[in-house]
Structures are given as structure tokens and as C-alpha cells.
A and B are shown apart, each in its own frame.
Chain A
């Protein structure tokens, strides 16, 4: 889903609907291991972006992608993280950097990665940690928002 300017765009595809297996806890009396986490596919979400605005802009203008989340129903103990797992495809003048280490997705914008020029098929992976049997059984939903900023 994306919102576009006249010719700028940040297209996203690939939501994530993970389930935690009920046999993760092997022994009565134990909580989830503190190191337990679930990970999405490395290419769970694909991003395509362009600043538009003509050949100069699409080739040479710098940009930044921020990430945040908007909770529908979430538990604050659950830690959602995101990282960029590929550079995608750009032009000969394009460059991309940052975002390759897991970073927590917060309800406020934080810088994710940045670059120059148009890009397609930038892959993104998620992981969730912070599990506990003290968190009520439920389906927790949030929306991850990627924002393209013209630098």
C-alpha cells in the first residue's frame, strides 16, 4: 500500500502474519526463553521507491526512508524489529546504505536507511521478541509505515 505524490512513490508489498507454535515451551513451569524470537522471511516486505521529478531527481537526489508503527492492538512487551536484507536494484548512479542491523520499530518515526536515486525490490525482514506467558493470548496487530523523505 502506498500514498503517492505527483510522480514520487514508495510502494510496499508483503504483510506478515506470524503464529507462535504452542509447543515452544517444552516443560511445565517455564516461561518462554528470553532469547526466543520469531523471524519473517528475509524478503517479507519489498520496497520500491522513487523521488520522481525528472531525470536529474530520479538519478541524483538523496532520500531517506523512515520507519514507524501504528498500533491497532499491540502489547508493549512485544519488540518488533526490522532490517534491510538487500540493496534492491538501482541505477548506475544509485547508492543505498544503512538499515542492515535489526532496529526496533517504534510508534514514532526513526531513520531506517538512505540513498540516492530510484530503487526497486529492496527487501525487508522483521523479527519479534519479548514473549511471555504473562502476555494475554490474543492476536496483536500493528501497521508498519515506511516514509520516503526527500533530502
Chain B
């Protein structure tokens, strides 16, 4: 009887013992995120036309031709904390017609998210890379036309005397998303 009582007491004691941590183990999880740099011209890579119009009145002269929002620059950028990128443009092939210059400007970004870049204003195209967008951090612009930075091109006569009325040419441009 006494033994049964002790056993009952032990069983009851075990039932009323509070839950307690008796052991633990651990494993590591290390996740590495990659750098990403993607750049695209939308809606396509077709040529942008800039043609000076003939004046419709004697004595006048049309000095500029523009193609506003002709293309859109889309990019995706994943960078380390504190790292930034920019977009440069340069002429890859072809030459600007004599007596003219061609300018390019990038608008403020539309859509997307993150640390999108800022426009560097208007630049005259040359064979040397020039920044058109600065300070891109971790960001994405959205995909397609009307997302990202609109690009506008302007053809401007700088020296009338150098113009060849029948001259035309094609320029190839390279846009590069590059680390600062």
C-alpha cells in the first residue's frame, strides 16, 4: 500500500511538472544576394530620326529638330550598401553632320522603385562616355516605354556655313550602366 502511494505520488509529480527546455541545437543559414546590372532601351532599338525642316518663308531658318521622349531607358540595379551607379552614353560609330550638334537629355524617372537615378541634364553627344543619369542605387524602373527615364534628342545647327543640305548619317550610341 505504501509502495503504491509512492508510485502514485511520483506519477502525479511527473504530470504536474512544468514544461522545460531540455536540449537545443542550431544550424546556420547564409544567403548571398548577387549584384545585378541590367539596362535596356524601350520600346525598341530602332533609329530615332531627326530632320531639319525646310523653312516656309524666305529669310527664315529652322535651326533645331527634336524628338521628345523618343526612347525610354529601363534599368535594374542591385548594389551594396552605399554603392551607386550611373548611365553613360557615347557615340559608337558614325559622325555628327558638319555644322550641327546632337544633344540628349534624360528626364526624371517614372515608375519603378528604390534609389532611382537623377538626370544629368542635357549633354552634347561625343565619342567620349558622358553621364546622363547619376546616383543609381538599388532600384528598378519598371519595364517598357513610359517606364524609367524618357530620352529626348535634339539636332541643332551650330554653323550654317558648314551645312550640307543633303547630308544625312546614322549614329550608333552605346548606353552603359556602370559603377561610380
Interface residues of A (CB under 8 A from B): 1-5, 8-22, 25, 27-31, 45, 47, 49, 51-52, 63-64, 69-70, 78, 80, 126, 128, 131-151
Tell me whether B74 and A140 are in contact (CB under 8 A): no
In the complex, whether B117 has a CB less than 8 A from a CB of chain A is no
Whole-angstrom CA separation of A80 from B30 in the bound complex: 11
In the complex, whether B139 has a CB less than 8 A from a CB of chain A is yes
Q: Separation in Å of the A104 CB from the closest CB of chain B? A: 13
Asked whether A16 and B27 contact (CB < 8 A) given A28-B75, A149-B20, the answer is yes
Interface residues of B (CB under 8 A from A): 17, 19-36, 38-40, 42, 74-81, 83, 112-115, 138-144, 147-148
At the interface, is chain B mostly helix, strand, loop or mixed? strand
Tell me whether A143 and B29 are in contact (CB under 8 A): yes
Tell me whether A136 and B138 are in contact (CB under 8 A): yes
Q: Separation in Å of the A3 CB from the closest CB of chain B? A: 5
Tell me whether A22 and B35 are in contact (CB under 8 A): yes
Tell me whether A147 and B30 are in contact (CB under 8 A): no
Q: Separation in Å of the B152 CB from the closest CB of chain A? A: 19
Tell me whether A31 and B19 are in contact (CB under 8 A): no
Asked whether A28 and B40 contact (CB < 8 A) given A134-B114, A141-B28, the answer is yes
Whole-angstrom CA separation of A17 from B148 in the bound complex: 35
19 example contacts (A-B, Cβ-Cβ < 8 A) are as follows: A3-B23, A3-B25, A11-B25, A15-B28, A15-B30, A16-B27, A16-B29, A25-B36, A27-B74, A29-B75, A29-B140, A29-B143, A30-B140, A49-B23, A128-B29, A134-B138, A136-B33, A143-B27, A150-B17
